[in-house]
Amino acid sequence: MQPRWFQKLGLLGTFAGALAFYFLLALVPLFILSATVVYQILHVDITPQVRELMRELLPASLAQTPQRVADAVAAGTSRGWFTAGFIGVLWASASFMNELARAIHLLFADVLDAGAGGWRRWLKSLLLMVLWCGVLVLACMLFLFSTRLPELARHWSWLEGAALASVQAGRWLATVALLAAAVLLTLRLVPVRPAPWRTCAGCGLGVALVWMLMGAALTRTLPLIWAQSPLPIAFGSFLVVMAWAYACCWTLLFGALLASRHRRALF
């Protein structure tokens, strides 16, 4: 008989497929929700920073996607809090977080019960939505502050090149660190008996690095794919985004499985 963790490994593709659908459904709403909260409280428009963050996360060859996401965020935040559109934003974001909580809960649970977690899982889903929105806001605010560094360095021409390089490297490192923190807190919050902090931190860092490296790999391989593919570019870009979302979700769930496996080894 196969070990239970090996059976769960075989289910990761199914979990990731369902989660990827909700991930793409909630991608823009999560940014809209975060940008709306910032604008309503601080009266700061972080739409340009949303575009920059998407350029860090998405493959660089998908050049138009970050701008389209930024345009959708700008349109969504202009509708206010209490509109049908904003209710849809909340629903899409909560649905993704509920599916994420369900998948991680099943990976850590002793019994594969689709309804496991009950109302506690829904409550954790809302907390996850607040957590991930907070990470997005923090990333955008860091990107906003980072734009000041090249402006300050213009007074010293010999520092300008170093300042630009530092901003690019800092944005990349900040994105990795914040993604790792979000995964870490997710793995600690969702399971009833989570893995130790050190284990979750290691899995979170691994997931964040793989996410960023996948974007870099797609950036290098996409031009070769377009040169050989008979598919139209627009349809091909859609397939690439779907594949990217699936790979991201699979990586996240594999990290959760590793954390659950390590917890069982300890206890």
- The sign one gets for the Cα dihedral 47, 49, 52, 58 is negative
CA distance 143 to 55: 12
Q: Give residue 1's pLDDT.
A: 45
What are the tens digits of pLDDT across the range 137-182?
A: 888 888 777 666 655 555 555 555 555 567 677 788 888 999 999 9
- At 244, give phi and psi (nearest 5°): -60, -45
- List the chain residues with pLDDT less than 50: 1-2, 265-267
Q: Are 267 and 218 in contact (CB under 8 A)?
A: no
CB atoms under 10 Å from CB of 149, counted, come to 16
Residue written as token pair 């700008």: 74
pLDDT of residue 2: 47
- pLDDT score at 77: 66
How far apart CA 172 and CA 216 sit, in angstroms, is 12
Instruction: Give the integer Cα–Cα distance in Å for 246 and 23.
Output: 9
Comparing C-alpha atoms, which of 181, 175, 241 is closest to residue 212?
Answer: 175
pLDDT tens for 33-60 read 788 778 777 777 778 777 777 777 766 5
Residue 265's Cβ-side half-sphere holds a number of Cα atoms within 13 Å equal to: 9
pLDDT of residue 23: 85
* Enclosing H/E stretch for 165: helix 157-189
The pLDDT score that the predictor gives to residue 82 is 55
Place of tokens 């509920």: 98
Distance CA 134, CA 229 (A): 39
